[in-house]
Amino acid sequence: MGLRVEVFGCSYKSYVADFDGRSSLLYRFNQKSMSTVKDVISLRFKSHQAEGVLLHGEGQRGDYITLELHHGRLDLYLNLDDSRSRFSSRRVPVTVGSLLDDQHWHSAHIERFNRQVNLTVDSHTQHFQTSGEGQSLEVDYELSFGGIPLPGKPGTFLRKNFHGCIENLYYNGINIIDLAKRRKPQIHSVGNVTFSCSPPQLVACTFLSSSSSFLSLPSAASPTGEFTVRFQFRTWNPDGLLLSVQLNPSPQKVELQISNCWLHLTLHSLGRQRSDVSAGRRVNDGLWHTVSLTSRNLQITLSVDGEPSSNIELWELVESRDNFYFGGCPPTECHIQAPAFQGCMQLISINDHLVNLSHVQQGLLGNYNELQFDTCNMKDRCLPNLCEHGARCSQTWSFFSCDCSGTGYSGATCHNSIYESSCETYKLSGSSSGFYFIDPDGSGPLGPTQVYCNITEKKVWTVLPHNNTTPVKVQNSSPQKPHIMKFSYNASADQLRAIVSRSEQCQQEVVYNCRKSRLFNTKDGSPLSWWLDRDGDKRSYWGGFLPGVQQCSCSLEENCMDMNYFCNCDSDIDTWTNDTGILSYKDHLPVSQIVIGDTNRTGSQAVYHVGSLRCYGDKSIWNAASFYQESSYLYFPTLQAELASDIAFYFKTSSPSGVFLENQGLKDFIRVELSSPTVVTFSFDVGNGPAVLSVKSHLPLNDRQWHYVRAERNVKEASLQVDQLPLRLLEAPADGHLRLRLSSQLFVGGTASQQRGFLGCIRSLMVNGLTFDLEERAKLTPGVSSGCPGYCSGSSNLCHNRGRCIEKSNGYICDCSQSAYGGATCNQEVSVSFDRESSVTYTFQEPFSVMQNRTSQATSAFTESRAREDVAFSFVTSQRPAMLLTVSTFSQQYITTILARNGSLQIWYHLQTDRSPDVFSPVPKNLADGRLHRIRIHRVGRNLYVQIDQDIHRKYTLSSDAELILIRSLTLGKVIRMESFDEEVVKAASKGFVGCLSSVQFNHVAPLKAALTNRGSSLITIRGPLVQSNCGALAESTSHILQDQAANEDKEQRDSNAQKDLAVIAGVVTAVVFIAVCALAVISRLLYQQRRAKRSSSIKEEHRHSTYTDYRTELHLHNSVRDNVKEYYI
């Protein structure tokens, strides 16, 4: 509804022009063309149609500006480039607004300075930069408002012109409508433009309820008994009843409904098969659609938006009986399973008689329920688009949803990255070396990028190659015409900056092989060659030396071939030499460009090589602070969390309660706290009243061990995750407040009131993808210290493969219960050999914590976590086909991995029993080759990621994102129960598995290890013989056998040739050995005499040095042991 408020004492002047769809205003310039570097255009408009040009101007050099309504949205075309034609097919508009054809007033404002533009419609603003190279907009002769007249033909238009009213139209401070009203010569009027806004002619009604809305109208008399119904509708819902009418002869009924976004017309007849036709396409797009339904000449005809009609053939003539029901039907009159229509209708006519909806509202005509009149009260829930990271927004009448496909993110608003933030975190999750996608800022805006993770026992290297890692030869380059090579990486500049900044150390090797090619040896000191850093700044120091100094690593090591120069190549000799070093100053990495300028002399040339960017360590993982006073806290700038925020951290404590984090506003707030020894609480208020989520653990959380917490809040829901306990979700109220408005500082480890502070350690605090430097802030804060004491508080990775480090009073132990590996540090492979009849079945049992979380706070809208599986295992076999792993549910769903007849891996996902399963075969090669293969499978929703050995992760899309409901069991090897399997799976299941399986992990269950360590458990069922084995050794022996076979064949072929040369070789060898023995005897005698002379003088000095070294070593070991044993408990 439109509303204007005039405040007493303030005058409001309204200049209005009414365009009838065939008219326009032309503003003609005083000169031939107008060139501007700054433009300000503002207007208010009210439109009767979804299409129409509001503003247009163009120049002969190719500049143009067009503002038009298209599908109820406002499109701005703006080009400052003289190289493009005026109406190129590649023109792409900037679009703002929605449902702007609702006959209400809307404001539009355009501000341009050079190429920077702000386009605002109502309260929604788009900031963008224009295409083209120019800085000014050059328009020839005139600007047109309301349409684009065709030159030479007054009243004709190139596009559909505007139909509606424009108010207070200003172009660079000029009141266009005022000039037109006063008939100034600068304004030329085309067609009939009036200066008062005519009232709207169309009256709409809104159907509000999907269960009880309806409009009942009587059937207007028709002399032939036939009927015709026409109306317009608009909606967001993919389903809903539009029209229902009873027919004579009875009982017959016609229903027109939206079903799966299409219009479906159905004729129900007693004793005959019902008839169906479809028409239209995606009619739930929020636009007005015109429907015509006619019964005539033994046909019922349906037409939508003037498209070709669809027909239902009749057996006999029919006529309408009783009332026409629009949008729904009262339960007493008809029984319809389809939901009622939610949306708007207008221009309803029955038998060519237009229905006066005002009479319906006054009770003079028909009947209705849950309707609004004189307005189309639709809301575009995708404006603004609250889906993040470029996800597509779709909506119904009451809610919106986000399609995260292809974004690399998941969640209700696509806020959460599906990738780890660094290679270090991949190692902590048990991954091995390979290509991975990492998202360095998590839920931030940067997005994921692919890197190579070189995971070793001591360090984890993140490797980012560039476009030219091979050596490059350079000749004929000079300072005036240098050789230039630009390096591009598989990551944006911001992504590179984030990866480097969160790493502990980064480096890049630079090799310069030279022959009469200098680096820095010039008279004026200017470099002949240099490189550019990541910001494009010139750097003239070479690998291995300090920034800002034109020297090479040989100068630092004092081993340059000519000590008069600081680089080997600066000696300018006519032989090959090189300067090699490592660039390791993080703020300058990576190298973005290299310039070589001294290879133009005779005999001068160079070969250079710039290696990949290599970084190791993740500073954020072990960035920690210890809080030892209840009144102490760390403070940071206000949390930027209006529409979405996520908070993740680790904590350990012995205190029963304490606030981890708090940020307050005037009334709004957000808080995460340990409310009791077993409960973590996430609470917030965005104006809808306090919302509280709690996760309760069946074990104490104040056990001095690290625990993980992740809290998220967005416009659709809030969630709380603690360790591996079930995720808690709370849906946001419909049409509630969305924005969290905070004003105070963010307090970490305490509150502004200095009460209920946290005592313990917090580490790895990340908010919206940004890492908070707790250690640096703790250095300046009393009651807080940097780091956290304890064996398990560092980055030494004491426990491997998902093993959890547990503090003890005199050391630590590794909890390998969540790992598929065993041993003291969770790094020992758990392997079992199977034969054809062997199988291991793990029966899932719902843990107490899950049931407890389900029953508590039943009044809140909580659900379990979204569909997600993580599967990893290794195997060695020569059998094909073979059954590797099967997961089945009580609802006939299953996941299985098999080896097909050709030995290739097949992954079967059967998530919906009414559909065929999804089958994926990542690589066609034979894996039944007797070698060890590692398989990793990861699913989030519809996205499936598969890695085989060290190959890249391959992405597939499932047909469904359904969860596994009530998982029954996981089976390794032969499967007995196969009632729901497909034929190919049944064949593999019956063959079983012959070979070795190791390190099997399904989510947080290690079934193979459980079978070996808990043979008497009721959860484990073992059939056939199982022998503990070593898959790695078995694969190695198999590989040696294959190699030996190949070697024996090759040896047999070479034996005959080798025997012929054996005699000659033996004679030569004998002579060489005799000469060598004689020479060694002479040299040994000389060295013995020389050593005996020096021995007596060195014994005394050596004894004194040895005594000092032993003492220093002992002291160092004593200090190290003392520091390691020292432990603090909070």
Are 145 and 54 spatial neighbours (Cβ–Cβ below 8 Å)?
yes
Q: What is the pLDDT of residue 1072?
A: 53
Mean pLDDT of 990-1006: 88
How confident is residue 1058, by pLDDT bands cut at 50, 70 and 90? Answer: very low
> Is-cis flag, bond preceding 249, omega within 30?
yes
27 neighbors 171 (Cβ within 8 angstroms): yes
Predicted pLDDT of residue 162: 92
Spatial separation of the C-alpha atoms in residues 95 and 229, rounded to whole Å: 35
Which of 62-71, 789-798, 1059-1068 is predicted most confidently?
62-71
pLDDT score for 1125: 32
pLDDT over threshold 70, residue 326: yes
Reported confidence tier of residue 669, pLDDT bands at 50, 70, 90: very high
pLDDT of res. 858: 32
316-327 CB burial, b ≥16 within 10 A, e <16: eebebeebbbbb
pLDDT at 495: 92
How many other C-beta atoms lie within 10 A of the C-beta of residue 1041? 11
Residue 673: phi and psi, rounded to 5, are -150, 160
Name the more confident of 222 and 259. Answer: 259
- Rounded to 5 degrees, φ, ψ at 117 are -135, 140
Q: What is the mean predicted confidence (pLDDT) over 967-990?
A: 83
Confidence tier at 86 by pLDDT (50, 70, 90): very low
Instruction: Give residue 853's pLDDT.
Output: 35
Whole-model pTM? 0.70
Position 796 confidence tier, pLDDT thresholds 50, 70, 90? low
Tell me the sheet residues that pair with 248. 319
Highest-scoring range by mean pLDDT, 236-240, 304-308, 845-849: 236-240
Distance of CA 562 to the CA centre of its chain: 54
Q: What is the mean pLDDT of residues 1003-1013?
A: 84
The average pLDDT across 357-371 equals 90
CA separation, residue 372 to residues 203, 235, 936, 1051 (Å): 11, 15, 56, 93
Q: ∠ CA 233-354-287 to the nearest 5 degrees?
A: 15
Stretch 606-631: mean pLDDT: 89
- Give the mean model confidence (pLDDT) for residues 614-626: 88
Side-chain-facing half-sphere of 270: CA atoms under 13 Å: 7
> What sign does the CA torsion over 518, 521, 522, 524 have?
positive
Residue with tokens 């009982």: 251
- Helix residue spans in 886-972 (DSSP H): none
Q: Is the pLDDT of residue 109 over 60?
A: yes
For residue 102, pLDDT over 60 is answered with yes
Bridge partners of 831, per DSSP, are 998, 1029
At position 696, the amino acid (one-letter code) is: K
d(C-alpha 658, C-alpha 674), whole Å = 5
With cut-offs at 50, 70 and 90, classify the pLDDT of residue 1077. Answer: low
CA distance 954 to 963: 21
Q: Are 259 and 335 in contact (CB under 8 A)?
A: no
Going across the sheet that includes 967-973, the strands are 918-920, 905-910, 894-899, 882-889, 967-973, 839-843, 1020-1023
pLDDT at 393: 93
Report which of residues 678 and 91 the model is more confident about. Answer: 678
Burial category of 1070 from C-beta neighbours within 10 Å (exposed 0-12, middle 13-18, buried 19 and up) = exposed
Distance CA 241, CA 253 (A): 13
Is the predicted pLDDT of residue 67 greater than 60, yes or no? yes
Higher pLDDT, 745 or 1100: 745
Contact criterion met (CB below 8 Å) for 147 and 161: yes
Pick the range with the lowest mean pLDDT from 186-195, 956-965, 1098-1107: 1098-1107
